[in-house]
Amino acid sequence: MILPLLSSTSFIKKSAGGTTGFVLPVQTGMLMYMDANAASSIWKNTARTTPATTAGDSIQGVTDFSGNSNHWSQATAGVAPTLQLVGGKNVLRYDTSGGMWMGFASRMTTIRTSFWVAGETNGWGGDYSFLLGDSSNYDFHSESPHGCFAAYSTSPVNLLRINKASVAIGTARPISPAIKVITAQNSGNASASEMSRDRNNAYGTRSWHGDIAFLVCYSSVLTTQQMSDTEDAIKAYLSI
């Protein structure tokens, strides 16, 4: 099955990483921007020269559209996510083995606001499942069995919104195929080096279990209006 790439004739953003389908309302402070539904975004090899187009393809390269060349890679196919189609949208699927992850070209250490479009695997039994992981810190520590985040870190998530609604940080993750916009802010600078192994699996496999279609991270603390505008733009773009 060939998976379609979403596109928009109204919004075109060009960057060092390539072209994506629309312009985010906030550009200042962007650290990373992953869009699985943009052209030239998901690849079958770490060099990002062979596009992934078929359901089940192993995703070993992902383009960062922020202009910072913070691309994703995973040289080992067995722990790389696969390309799937959910609700007409391309997603990177991290299966229930719990060991799938992709590393970033550069570790981010100043994350303050992040947006995901993601959903946990339907029927998964639940445990720690990180929406962002790091080689040494645990700034995006999840809550067991299904909570998005927990106040375990030195720079914890102190604000969580799901599809624009403000909720407690331990609120359960959305369930795929009903992927939703997850918005988080940290009380201080947070770090992430991969999507999404926790501290090199030092505490077991706590990688993401589920689907992800979109991720953007900022070094800036976005205002409530900026978060709302960004969430609206993402929801309209992906029709979720």
pTM reported for the whole predicted model: 0.91
| C-beta separation of 20 from 13 below 8 A | yes
**Tens-digit pLDDT string for the chain (240 aa):** 445 454 332 222 333 333 445 799 999 999 999 999 999 999 999 999 999 999 999 999 999 999 999 999 999 999 999 999 999 999 999 987 779 999 999 999 999 999 999 999 999 998 999 999 999 999 999 999 999 999 887 889 999 999 999 999 999 999 999 999 999 999 999 999 999 999 999 998 899 999 999 999 999 999 999 999 999 999 999 999
Which of 42, 44, 38 is closest to 15 using CA atoms?
A: 38
C-alpha dihedral, 6 to 15 to 112 to 174, nearest 10°: 10
